Structure formats: C-alpha cells, structure tokens
Amino acid sequence: MANRCRKFTLVLLTILVNNTVGSQFGHHSSVQANLPRSRLCNTSAQHKNDAYHLNESIIRYRAGAVNIRPRKDDSVTEMASIEKRGLAVVQLSSLLSILSTTLVAFTPAAALVQKLGDAKATSLLSILAASSAIIEILFSPAVGRLMDDFGRKRPLLTVLVAIAMSQLTVVLSNESTWSLCVGKFAGTLGIGFFFQTIGQAILTDVTGRGNSPERLSSALGMQAALISIGFLVGALSAGKLQATFGVTTSYGIASILAFANAILVALVMPETLEASATKRQVRQRKSILGSLLSCIDILIKRQNGIPVLAATFALQSLPQFMGDFFQIFCKAEWNLDTAAFSQFVAMFGVLGLVSNISGSLLVRRLGIRRFTILTTLLAIVPSFCVSVWGFQGLLAGYAFGFLGLAQNLGIMSALASEGKKQNIPIGEITGERASLMGLVKILGPILYSTLYVQGKRLWGLSNLPFIFNTVLGIAVFALSYYHVK
C-alpha cells in the first residue's frame, strides 16, 4: 500500500510541474487540499516534504527567483554548429583570398618595370613591401584588440572588401601607376592581416573546445594546404590570363573572386567570438596606442613560456622571408632562368601542399611536442644538403625532409594554447604574434642579402645563408625540445 501511495504521489507531482506556467497555485495547504483525503491519511513524511519543496519552488518561480534556462544540450549543439560553419567558411575564404591575390601578385613588378624602368620599379616595390611590414608591426596588436572588443567578422569583412576595392581600382583606372601600387600594397597588407591575425583568431575560436592544441594544428595544416592549392592555381593561371587577355582582365577576375569572398563571409560566416567574451574584453580594453609596439611585449612582458615560444616561432619562420635574395642566388649561382625557377617554385608549392596535409593528420597522432620536434629536425635537412651539395642537394633534402615545411603548425598551436591558459584574449595574442612576424619580414631580406654579399666577398662562401639556416635550425630544434610541452 505504501508503494502504491508513493507512486501516486510522484505522478501527481509530475503533473503539477508540467502545468506550472499559467496555472494558479496557492500555499502548501491548498496543494494538500487538492489531494484525495484518503490518500493524505497514508502519505508519509517524505511525501509531505516533497510536496512542500514543490510548492516552495512554484512560489519562487512566480516571484522571479527561479529562471527557466535553455537545456545544456541545446547550447552545446548550437555552439558545435557555429564551430563547424565557421571553420568551413574561414577555410573556403582562405582559398579564395590567396587565389584572388595570386592571380595578380606578380603583375605589378612587370608593369612597373615597363612604366618606370628597373631601378625605379625595384625601389618603389621595396618601399611598398617595407611599408606594409611596418604597418603590420604597428597595427596588428590594435586589430587584435578590436577583434576581442567587437568580434571577428567585421574586421575580416573590412579586409576582404579593401582587397576587392583595390583590385577594382586598377581595372577602373586603366592600369595607372598609382593604382598598381595601391593594389600591391592593399593585397600584401590584407593577406598579412587575414592569415596572421584574423584568420588565426577565428581558427582558434572554432577549434577551442577542450583546449586541444592538436585540433588547432590540424585546422592550420588544412588551411596551409588550401593556401598551397590557391597559390599553385593562381600562379599557373596568372601567366596565361595576362598573355591571352591582358592585365586588366586579370585584375577584373581577381576582383570578382575577392567580392565573392566578401559576400560569402557577410552572408554565411557566423560570429565566432562569444557575446560574454565580447563584453568582458570591452571592460578590460587598454589603450590602442599602448599596443603599437607589442612585438616587443610578447618577447619581454609575457610570462610562463610565451616569450620562448614566440622567439622560437620567429626564428623558424625567418628562412621563409629571404625576399628576392633566393631568386638572385638561383640565377647567379645555379644558372636557373625564369622558366626553370618557376618550375622549382611549383615543385616547392606541391611539397608544401603534401607536407601540410600530412602534418594536419599526423599532429593528432603524435601530439604537439613530438610533432614539433620531428618537423624541426627534418627542416634542417634541406639547408644542410644545399650547403654541401648545392642545387642537387636542395632537391634531395626537400624530398627527404618535406615534412619540415609544416614545422610552424606545432609552435603556433602551442603559443595559442599557452595564451589561453594564461587567460590572454585570443585576438590580443595573435595580434602581438603578427606584429612580431612583421618585424621578421623586414629583417629577413636584409639579413640574407647581407650574408650572401659579405660571405661571398670576405670568405668566398656564396652558400653562407644556407649554413646560417642549418645553425638556426639546430637552435630551433633545441628550443622546441626543451620548451614545447
């Protein structure tokens, strides 16, 4: 009898809970009055206690003390949907961005040489490259803070529209000198902000559940693979388009792709920064002017491993910014003409594609530390081989150590993960890292040109830059071994 009474009471309590909204409830006595009298006689003290707590919950609900919240499962499902959509859009946007800029990346140099001559064109292009790098140094931290304050989507859309408008300007101005300079400058600067700051923050957002650096490394590897595909298709298509239809048509197609990219982001891209995080960062926001030289802050003012990781990332990225030195070296030392050099660049792009796809899959199996140690060790092989055996050694070195091209994936993820552990906003840490990379872009060409000229003049070592890269690779390997966790 007691069991039947308890079951009846529990069923009645369930009905009362389901009909709470819109019903009229009284105090505990009125609840008891609605129960059959014969049942109340046999109700145990536990049952009365249950009814009492139910009545108290109803009163608190009507007074506004109890809030109805969405189910946790719904919130998790919605967040997972945003992450999947954001990841898909940012990867597709990466492909369209690199494709639209690569279609016209090599056009300004040839056009300006034809208009101004070799000396003036080279000087002007150097000024544009240095100016874009300086702006990255100064304003990448500001862009990162703005992303933490107002979200990721609006800065990304602004960059994409600026690239598209600069390319359209060349079409409308009939390939004037100033429009070619504007297009070159905006394309270089926009791509830098996209991949070094905004895109990095978005990828960190959409792969951040569980604070897994391996997920971020895998996403970065796929992005790098898409960049390689876009670069290959764009570079191979650019020459044929310009030879067949002219420069204006190339810029027109590039602007169409850029505008399509902006429309994609505007209509489909979700905001990946949570609203609560936005409000928190508004309260914590510092002066933008105080972050203009944050490339120094990330090396000096940060703590607990971030300076070492940032320095390691900068050192392993340095050989990627040799500038025009490498093309000059190939022509002067190995007698590679333009066609042969283009084939070498295409081969390098294919290796980059294979290495980044392999890296995105391998990093999840090995983990960040072992993957970084392996790739930094393999990255030494090409530099050592070219120092000893020249061009043939370079080909053999990259055939064996191609996975070293993906060495940045581990360090970038480790740096982002360490920033999250220290509760540093994602936009802030990516902005500071991008500012540091701007400094590397300036120092790299100067350093390698000096090593080549002075090494050849003083010691007869034209391959001194590659000897330097070998020593640098050993240092990066040691830093990765002892400091990447």
Per-residue pLDDT tens over the stretch 43-54:
445 544 545 444
**Most confidently predicted of 9-13, 92-96, 230-234:** 92-96
pLDDT at 277: 53
Query: Which residue, 361, 363, 364, 385, is CA-closest to 374?
Result: 363
Q: 255 and 173, same structural domain?
A: yes
Residue 69 lies in a domain: no
pLDDT at 120: 81
Query: Which residue, 202, 196, 186, 217, is CA-closest to 92?
Result: 202
Q: 8 and 112, same structural domain?
A: no
Q: 51 and 117, same structural domain?
A: no
User: Is residue 394 over pLDDT 80?
Assistant: yes
Higher pLDDT among residues 64 and 100, named by residue: 100
The vertex-182 CA angle with 178 and 187, nearest 5°, equals: 150
Q: 137 and 9, same structural domain?
A: no
DSSP string, 347-362: HHHHHHHHHHHHHHHH
Average pLDDT of 295-301?
80
Average pLDDT of 212-230?
87
Distances, alpha carbon 425 to alpha carbons 221, 288, 329, 429, in Å: 23, 15, 42, 6
Q: 40 and 172, same structural domain?
A: no
Structural domain count, the chain:
2
Positive or negative, the CA dihedral 359, 361, 365, 367 is positive
- Residue type for 274, please? E
- Residue type for 483, please? H
Per-residue pLDDT tens over the stretch 434-481:
888 988 988 888 899 889 989 988 998 999 999 999 999 999 999 999
Residue 344 lies in a domain: yes
Query: Which residue, 431, 448, 405, 438, is CA-closest to 188?
Result: 438
27 pLDDT tier (thresholds 50, 70, 90): very low
Separation CA 49–CA 43 (nearest Å): 10
Higher pLDDT among residues 236 and 392, named by residue: 392
pLDDT at 299: 87
256 pLDDT tier (thresholds 50, 70, 90): very high
Residue 202 lies in a domain: yes
Residue 74 lies in a domain: no
Per-residue pLDDT tens over the stretch 410-419:
898 888 888 8
pTM (global) more than 0.85: no
Q: 100 and 34, same structural domain?
A: no
Residue 68 lies in a domain: no
164 pLDDT tier (thresholds 50, 70, 90): very high
User: Is residue 316 over pLDDT 90?
Assistant: yes
Q: 88 and 46, same structural domain?
A: no
pLDDT at 294: 61
Residue 451 lies in a domain: yes
Lowest mean pLDDT among 146-160, 200-214, 262-276: 200-214
Q: Which two tokens stand for residue 422?
A: 């220290």
- Give me the CATH number covering residue 307: 1.20.1250.20
Domain of 44 in residue numbering reads as 2-63
Residue 179 backbone zone (phi > 0: left; psi -120 to 50: alpha; other: beta): alpha
- Residue type for 115, please? K
Report yes or no: 195 and 94 within 8 Å, Cβ to Cβ. yes
Report yes or no: 96 and 254 within 8 Å, Cβ to Cβ. no
pLDDT at 293: 60
Q: 325 and 193, same structural domain?
A: yes
Residue 121 lies in a domain: yes
Positive or negative, the CA dihedral 116, 122, 126, 127 is negative
Pick the last residue of a domain from 30, 63, 96: 63
pLDDT at 209: 61
Residues 6+ apart with CB under 8 A from 378: 400, 401, 402, 403, 404, 407
Q: 466 and 357, same structural domain?
A: yes
Average pLDDT of 318-331?
81
Higher pLDDT among residues 19 and 213, named by residue: 213
Per-residue pLDDT tens over the stretch 177-216:
899 999 989 998 998 888 888 988 899 888 866 567 888 8
pLDDT at 179: 92
DSSP string, 289-301: GGGTTHHHHHHHT
Q: 108 and 16, same structural domain?
A: no
pLDDT at 326: 82
Tell me what the pLDDT averaged over the chain comes to.
79
Separation CA 150–CA 281 (nearest Å): 9
- For residue 307, the tally of other CB atoms under 10 A from its CB is 16
Lowest mean pLDDT among 170-174, 285-289, 371-375: 285-289
Q: 48 and 90, same structural domain?
A: no
Residue 70 lies in a domain: no
Lowest mean pLDDT among 48-52, 57-61, 255-259: 57-61
